[in-house]
Structure 1
Amino acid sequence: MAYHPIHQANKTGPFGNLTKDEFYRLHRVKHEETFMTNNKNMRIFTQSWQSTSQETQLIGLVAMIHGYSSESSWIFQLTAVAIAKLGFHVFALDLHGHSYSDGHRGHIPDINPIIQDCIQYFDGAQSAHSHLPAFLYGESLGGAIASLIAINQKHTWKGLILNGPMFGVSAKFKPIWPLEKFLPAAAMVAPRWRVVLTKSLVEKSYKEKWKRELVRRSPKAQKSEHPPAKTALEMLKVCERIVKRCKELEVALLVVHGREG
């Protein structure tokens, strides 16, 4: 099957009418889950996917990083399966504060420890397949993180694939005025206060209603779809960092983005 598994999903679950085991048997993909301990002694959930079809030759590695309103499981794993079926060994992790990983839910006061978590996990995954080309894939905030990793590890990655990367925060995402002006002070005084945007990040990230419903049905979905003040401020800083350093990218690049409508 060459089609993307999202076509099997419905608003009740990513596997449609199949069980998880049935889904993976149908697609002939081996799925493994584990935890790693980062340098802050936090448990970080990791997983991998690889085709078991004898007709599929292993041709490379893909390291995937999910967005702020997502996780490495649920709807995100469908893209991992699609990539694995093409002949890639795929790896992903839950950013801390997301899904099965340790950390306060949705709280990212500093992007640097998350970058280090990704590098730690992906370096370990690559060490077992050092002869194969490796690629980074990131969605939304994960796209920004993947870009910063590619900048920091210039000779490690053969390509960078970005799906709707967070390279800037549009007026639709920013806090209403004058809240944006007071965001640094709010982040200092009440770092976990949830900043109310015009719409939730789930509303902005998924245009199709059934996909938004599916994301919200995840057992590990965040209770609030609005980022804490410190996290919102860090997102703005990440965008500024990307703008300043994007010229340092020295890797084959593919950027895809949904259209309006």
Structure 2
Amino acid sequence: MHTASPRPVDTGTEELQCEVRERVAVITLNRPQARNALSDRLTPALRTMIRVCGDDPEVGAMLITGAGKAFCAGGDVKGMGDADTRRERTPEERILDLQDKQRRLTGAIVALRKPTIAALPGPAAGAGLSIALACDLRIGAASAFISTGYARIALSGDYGIAWLLTRLVGTSRARELMFLSERVDAGRCESLGLFNRVVPDDQLPEASFAMARGLANGPGTVFGHMKDNLDDALALGFEEALDREAVRLVESAMSEDHFEAVRAFVGKVASPPTGR
């Protein structure tokens, strides 16, 4: 079977790499020497790629990962305590700027109606953890771990960390993870529901891409409806969610994806494999 060659996407910086392969946009944070910490070049490029790949009809799923042995260490702590930098803008200006930046990063990932996967080859902390949590699914290497990290530098959290954690692990565990800022290994991340799967380190690229490729070539409109239903489950009462679910089911039932899937399913049932 012919497989199309990967299509590189220009991100504008070497700190972020992107290619579209078999309908999967593979976005790689590429600052391995800094554990892929966010920077003034990497972060704007990441915001742009989320938008560009989200709008690209040739992209069916998005896979975000990190180069080397880390996913993302979060923000650059070295520049955070600069008093001169803090005086350059008023608190109101800084608030508005952060609100805008958050909406165009983790906010954009959550709003994306295509499946999103984070593949963690190593640690994710702070805002880097928020990026992973904003994705629909997370696959961790066995050596990966997470830490909220904010308490260690006396910050309350950003990029949706509290909202995302609370919905994934519940309010009690979210408080534990935020207050203690402990290192949580891959096994416990899986048991808490932070990681969907844990695989051996050397299998992470193949396993995460295989999952993304399967989703990218699946019924895209239906996945969008599923994401709407799952979002409604967190925000609406049962009857209103039920009514909206009915609308989306009927729309799905009228789609060509549904007709093709039914034909394929019936064909498999009608022609079971023969044994010797």
TM-score bin (small chain): under 0.3
Scaled by the length of structure 2, what TM-score is found? Answer: 0.24
Scaled by the length of structure 1, what TM-score is found? Answer: 0.24
If asked which structure has higher relative contact order (CA below 8 Å, sep 6+), I would say: 1
Q: Judging by fraction of residues, say which structure has more helix.
A: 2
